[in-house]
Amino acid sequence: MTDARRLAYLEALGVDVYVRRGLEPAPDFTLPERMAPAESMPAAQAAAAPGVEATLDWDQLRARVAACTRCSLHETRTQTVFGVGSRSAKWMFIGEAPGADEDRQGEPFVGRAGQLLTSMLKAMGFARDDVYIANVLKCRPPGNRDPKPEEALQCRGYLERQIELVAPMLIVAVGRIAAQNLLATDTALARLRGKVHALGARGWPLVVTYHPAYLLRSPGEKRKAWQDLLFARQVFARLESGERVLP
Ligand code: SF4
């Protein structure tokens, strides 16, 4: 994607980018030399053990999710929302849970927030199909309430297997709930940003950013979200060049 096109998407997002002609917007973050681990992350939770899904292939996993009654959310869902995108993607975006639109359509990030995520991806030079998008929970919590810890725990094996199958180079946790759940921490999102975290026993590199639904409510934060995505691109470039981004 050309810089001009990227800037056009940023303008559409409402992100003010001040840049000298011919130059890309400079990130405000610098990549730390060493990974800063999520504070207060309980190691036992972060290094989640392989579950019963650990050997399932894509079709088996999708069928297991579609029939799942492990938590009470199955009683109120219209359908499960499995995940979408390239199964061999180098980037994986993980949100919190389906909302009303997602529950209706069976696809993550399809409402207004989803459209904003799609615009953010385009600003990075991606189509939705270039990445893999999933949620911590596969069923909608009623009234869009936050996921309960026991629901996230019951659903965790499905997401872990999705990550294993995609084997992305970089994971982006989208929003506070997803970030805190994945990293098993209650550290504020602001303090998780701008760092590379290690997810699970395999230590998948993970960075965090704001949820697009939050950005719709707080458009003034969009610039920070763009900084996060620039930071993610820096991390990805280092990973692609074989550089170590984690201790
Ligand atoms: S949220 Fe996850 S664990 Fe709960 S019923 Fe849906 S698929 Fe199963």
For residues 45-70, average pLDDT: 82
Q: What is the pLDDT of residue 89?
A: 98
- Exposure pattern of 223-239 as b/e (b: 16+ CB <10 Å)? bbbbbbbbbbbbbbebb
- H or E element in which residue 223 lies: helix 222-240
Check if 136 has its Cβ closer than 6 Å to any atom of ligand 1. Answer: no
Check if 97 has its Cβ closer than 6 Å to any atom of ligand 1. Answer: no
**Higher-confidence position of 155 and 52:** 155
Q: What is the pLDDT of residue 22?
A: 42
Name the band, by pLDDT with cuts 50, 70 and 90, for residue 108.
very high
From the alpha carbon of 69, which atom of ligand 1 is closest?
Answer: 5
Check if 139 has its Cβ closer than 6 Å to any atom of ligand 1. Answer: yes
Cβ count near 111 (within 10 Å) = 18
Check if 65 has its Cβ closer than 6 Å to any atom of ligand 1. Answer: yes
Q: What is the pLDDT of residue 190?
A: 96
Percent of the chain clearing pLDDT 90 (strictly above):
76
- Degrees to nearest 5, angle at CA 163 with 97 and 240: 120
Name the band, by pLDDT with cuts 50, 70 and 90, for residue 1.
low
The closest residue, in CA terms, to atom 3 on ligand 1 is: 155
Check if 71 has its Cβ closer than 6 Å to any atom of ligand 1. Answer: yes
Name the band, by pLDDT with cuts 50, 70 and 90, for residue 12.
low
The position carrying tokens 């989208």 is: 174
Q: What is the pLDDT of residue 41?
A: 36
Name the band, by pLDDT with cuts 50, 70 and 90, for residue 13.
low
**Higher-confidence position of 232 and 17:** 232
Check if 70 has its Cβ closer than 6 Å to any atom of ligand 1. Answer: yes
pLDDT tops 80 at residue 165: yes
- H or E element in which residue 209 lies: strand 204-209
For residues 39-48, average pLDDT: 38
Q: What is the pLDDT of residue 246?
A: 85
Q: What is the mean pLDDT of the chain?
A: 86
Burial class of residue 165 (count of CB atoms within 10 Å of its CB; 0-12, 13-18, 19+): middle
Check if 199 has its Cβ closer than 6 Å to any atom of ligand 1. Answer: no
Among 156, 173, 168, 171, smallest CA distance to 212 is for 173
Task: Using the mean position of ligand 1's atoms as its centre, give its distance from the Cα of residue 172 in Å.
Answer: 22
Q: What is the pLDDT of residue 4?
A: 64
Lowest mean pLDDT among 87-91, 138-142, 147-151, 242-246: 242-246
**Higher-confidence position of 208 and 24:** 208
pTM across the whole model: 0.84
Task: Using the mean position of ligand 1's atoms as its centre, give its distance from the Cα of residue 65 in Å.
Answer: 7
Name the band, by pLDDT with cuts 50, 70 and 90, for residue 46.
very low
